[in-house]
Amino acid sequence: MSASLGELAVRFGCELRGDPDLRVEHVAPLSSAGPDALAFLANPRYRSQLAQTRAGAIVLAPAHAGDTTRPVLIAANPYATYARMASVLYPAPVAAAGVHPTAWIAPLAQVAGDAHVGAHVSIGNGSRVGARAVIGPGCVIEEGVQIDADVRLVARVVVCRGTHIGARTIVQPGAVIGAEGFGFAPERGTWLKVPQVGNVRIGADVEIGSNTTIDRGAIEDTVIEEGVKLDNQIQIGHNVRIGAHTAMAACVGVSGSVTIGKRCQIGGAVGIVGHLSICDDVAVTGLTMVSHSITEPGVYSSGLPAIAAADWRRAVARLHRLDRMAGRLAALERQLGKERDD
Amino acid sequence: MSASLGELAVRFGCELRGDPDLRVEHVAPLSSAGPDALAFLANPRYRSQLAQTRAGAIVLAPAHAGDTTRPVLIAANPYATYARMASVLYPAPVAAAGVHPTAWIAPLAQVAGDAHVGAHVSIGNGSRVGARAVIGPGCVIEEGVQIDADVRLVARVVVCRGTHIGARTIVQPGAVIGAEGFGFAPERGTWLKVPQVGNVRIGADVEIGSNTTIDRGAIEDTVIEEGVKLDNQIQIGHNVRIGAHTAMAACVGVSGSVTIGKRCQIGGAVGIVGHLSICDDVAVTGLTMVSHSITEPGVYSSGLPAIAAADWRRAVARLHRLDRMAGRLAALERQLGKERDD
Amino acid sequence: MSASLGELAVRFGCELRGDPDLRVEHVAPLSSAGPDALAFLANPRYRSQLAQTRAGAIVLAPAHAGDTTRPVLIAANPYATYARMASVLYPAPVAAAGVHPTAWIAPLAQVAGDAHVGAHVSIGNGSRVGARAVIGPGCVIEEGVQIDADVRLVARVVVCRGTHIGARTIVQPGAVIGAEGFGFAPERGTWLKVPQVGNVRIGADVEIGSNTTIDRGAIEDTVIEEGVKLDNQIQIGHNVRIGAHTAMAACVGVSGSVTIGKRCQIGGAVGIVGHLSICDDVAVTGLTMVSHSITEPGVYSSGLPAIAAADWRRAVARLHRLDRMAGRLAALERQLGKERDD
């Protein structure tokens, strides 16, 4: 698709500085954009590229409008405005309504007439697929699953019995929703399986990344509220509850029975210990271990930045001997008649 | 299903305090259970809920039997007893015997007459599926695989050539068993693939979580002994051996040629460096790096708890300068005529 | 297969000390090898096993040739030479050319006549599968995908629209290539999806592990150069570029827009923060967080080795109070009239 700068400005309420009849055909980064490309500036670190860019038009904030001689589309939130304009240039592929001949739908399943069911999909009894939903190739939908309107399961997603997926939610390939989690009772040195009888409830407008796993509840349901965004390879344990519009980067592990508030931002590879809670509006930086409940909004960390290996080995050796170092310090303080403050 | 307290008490050898004719229909947590629900108390932290619960009956230990006026089922191991009772209220769905019309079974594969083979399953030549085994939708079983009686592959599991899966083992969706691991020989700045010719042997009563991967052996087999429980998204490298009844939480990475003993408990997101061994009865807490062999039973850690990001940045800066701090301390000790003890 | 020591020595240019007519049938470790087995010594830690081994022949370096009375094949790079000999004893299974009756190929897809397409595979319009390529059971290939000659997708791999996979590349089961990554613009407390319009380009001779995910580019392509080896359960974010012959162990997470150089070695479970770059020839040890760009070749670390949990708790408490400890040290220095050096 292509669009004129005039159309884009009007449709998305931007101030245009430039010829409204100019057209852009695709998007590109400032650094490599040509005259037929739409670019954007959201991260000020790239501001210096404004001077040299050859982009056909640039979506940017008022503060930067003067930094380039190219046509600009001025927006309060350039990244969001860019996202909407890109959706015009790259309309989402529409999947034709109907059921692929290789798919298998159980007799007691219901699939909306305008839904798409792809190759080698299986849908179990009692499951319902809503209007315009897209069930991509290789998906497995067990029994009693409810998939609301406009949901998109991209490919090879497994949705286990009794799961409910809210409208417009997108699930990327390889995700597993509603499998039995890690519930075992110790008994005489062995582990006895505990029936996992809860379900998974996923709200509307959620996105779930590739190969992410969300376990069904042990007793009550695992709940992902509306607007939550989960990246790839995330593990959500049983009975977890994630509040609306919380975003989680890839490789996060959330243990069972954790409650996470609304609008939290969890960095990559964070680990969250079981049975604790995190309040609304908390940010956790990457590779942090959350081992106590967090009751105050703010930013929390415990990730260690890489340094040269030899320096790191020395630091670790010191860290393991910190107790002795503290003792030596206290001894000097005593010798000098200082009040110990520790 | 429903059951009377009397039946449950007799069948599972509990002392019942309450009316044996009362019936429970489902399970629920103490906090939300109604008169038709069975609840349990295993974790003393929830003891305070006993006073207010409206549960139809509570499975608990003798020590807590006096803390509620509701009917109680007294058991030495309440969690295990609850697990058994829940299995009565929620019998596992039985998969009908037979092969789904969309499944494909190679001419030289053998499938027991009472096994279940689901939609879009493929089974390669020389593979055998035992009595009452359930091969769920979308599973791929390559050549020469042996699947023993009562195994359940939930859905979309890949089992590569030559793997052996012991009786009653459960594999959750998306798991990959027996793929080729990371075996490359460095040669003039590039990597030469080393044939991975070992298999995977999985014992009886094992459970393997969603999207967990277990690589085949490079030369000898990768071995998971009986009763091992692996959570989701765990990576087991080639030639690893895991001892009986060891349990591993989600997102653990075990490098190649590691040997782990029996009855170990490995916390979430632990990383274990290659070619080392961990003895029986070791516990490793979450997000710990095991970089040396462990020869003594006990609990081991190196995970860092989250704190406020600003405080953490200061602590990290100090950590990176610990060597200098130690030097300053030693200098003071010399000045004061102290024997250095470090 | 079996081979005579003479054949192996000639074919792979080794010096043979022993009877050229002796034959080996399979491979085994030094410790358990019998007279019909080929073994090798690459890691000097196993050198002591040379004295007792019963192997039919051992591939080793000149320096070790004198340490055993068994037949030896002397090679400059014993591990690489072993790998080549093992490929003779264990020839890769050849998949018969042709399309499985349960596979579905869109009318406008092109599949080479000598390619293999397995059970329940689907291939979308505009996709091309090259000569001798093997598309294993359950793979999903979307539209407009280019798969070059001799590629092997083992099983249940998802390759999303527009991806290009270079010749001889191997992809293990469960991998997802080209799915939409984590691109969301914050807007009034919610997240707006940003179209992900770039593709994935994978070079020749790459290997991608089980359940690894590689996101498509947000604007420009995600690029994996030739000879890169990625282990299992790795996450590669959008717009990442990985240089030729870099190797990554399992469970690594690479955030979006990271550039990694050539010939790097990234240890297991390393996390790399977004928008930074790592130069050529960098090694990062396991469980390290890379949070700044690396511009000098060398070895970098921040992983913490496990110790006894009680000792670790003390060390952590001290670490969180390091600032105070430093203050106390500075106070003593002032009292003793020392120049603060920190």
Cβ distance of A195 and B87 shorter than 8 Å? yes
Interface test with A, best of C288, C293, C299, C333 (most A CBs within 10 A): C288
Interface test with C, best of B223, B235, B300, B313 (most C CBs within 10 A): B235
Q: Is A116 a catalytic residue?
A: no
How far is it, in rounded angstroms, from Cα B176 to Cα C137?
Answer: 13
Below-50 pLDDT ranges, chain C: 342
Residue C93: the pLDDT is 82
Residue A339: the pLDDT is 60
Distance from CA of A79 to the nearest CA of C (A): 6
- Of C270, C235, C197, which is closest to residue A174 (Cα–Cα)? C235
Q: Which residues contact B94 (CB under 8 A, 6 or more apart)?
A: none
How far is it, in rounded angstroms, from Cα C315 to Cα C317?
Answer: 5
| Of the partner residues B102, B255, B302, the one whose CB lies closest to the CB of residue C304 | B302
Q: Which residues contact A173 (CB under 8 A, 6 or more apart)?
A: A136, A154, A155, A156, A157, A210, A211, C140, C158, C160, C176, C179
Cβ distance of B306 and A314 shorter than 8 Å? no
Side-chain-facing half-sphere of C323: CA atoms under 13 Å: 9
Fold type of domain A98-300: UDP N-Acetylglucosamine Acyltransferase; domain 1 (2.160.10)
Distance from CA of B113 to the nearest CA of A (A): 22
Residue of chain B whose Cα is closest to the Cα of A193: B83
The residue ranges of DSSP E strands in A7-130, in sequence order, are 15-17, 23-24, 26-27, 37-40, 57-60, 72-74, 98-99, 104-105, 110-111, 116-117, 122-123, 128-129
Could you give the 3-state DSSP secondary structure of residue C333? helix
Could you give the 3-state DSSP secondary structure of residue C99? strand
Residue C14's alpha-carbon distances to C10, C41, C50, C84, in angstroms, are 7, 14, 18, 12
How far is it, in rounded angstroms, from Cα B282 to Cα C307?
Answer: 12
- Percent of chain B with pLDDT strictly greater than 70: 99
Rg (chain A; Cα; Å): 26
Interface test with A, best of C160, C177, C188, C194 (most A CBs within 10 A): C194
What number does CATH give the domain B3-89?
3.40.1390.10
Chains touching C by CB (3 or more pairs below 8 Å)? A, B
| Of the partner residues C83, C137, C233, the one whose CB lies closest to the CB of residue B233 | C233
- Of A121, A140, A162, A181, which is closest to residue B93 (Cα–Cα)? A162
Side-chain-facing half-sphere of C65: CA atoms under 13 Å: 14
Encode pLDDT of C270-321 as tens digits: 999 999 999 999 999 999 999 999 999 999 999 999 999 999 999 999 999 9
Is the pLDDT at B198 greater than 60? The verdict is yes
Could you give the 3-state DSSP secondary structure of residue B319? helix
Amino acid at the residue A108: L
Query: What pTM did the predictor assign?
Result: 0.97
Distance from CA of B265 to the nearest CA of C (A): 14
How far is it, in rounded angstroms, from Cα C94 to Cα A222?
Answer: 45
**Is the interface score ipTM higher than 0.85?**
yes
**Chain B partners within 8 Å of C316 (Cβ):** 304-305
Cβ distance of B213 and C233 shorter than 8 Å? yes
Distance from CA of A236 to the nearest CA of B (A): 9
> Two tokens at B228?
């091992």
pLDDT tens digits, chain A, 342 residues: what are they?
A: 899 999 999 999 999 999 999 999 999 999 999 999 999 999 888 899 999 999 999 999 999 999 999 999 999 999 999 999 999 999 988 889 999 999 999 999 999 999 999 999 999 999 999 999 999 999 999 999 999 999 999 999 999 999 999 999 999 999 999 999 999 999 999 999 999 999 999 999 999 999 999 999 999 999 999 999 999 999 999 999 999 999 999 999 999 999 999 999 999 999 999 999 999 999 999 999 999 999 999 999 999 999 999 999 999 999 999 989 999 999 998 988 876 554
Is the pLDDT at B338 greater than 80? The verdict is no
Per the CB < 8 A criterion, the answer to whether C271 and C249 are in contact is no
Q: Which H or E element spans position A68?
A: none
Cβ distance of C215 and A229 shorter than 8 Å? no
pLDDT confidence tier of residue B341, bands split at 50, 70 and 90: low
Q: Which residues pair with C122 in a beta bridge?
A: C104, C140
Residue A172's alpha-carbon distances to A3, A137, A229, C125, in angstroms, are 29, 12, 12, 20
Cβ distance of A300 and B316 shorter than 8 Å? no
Is the pLDDT at B340 greater than 60? The verdict is no
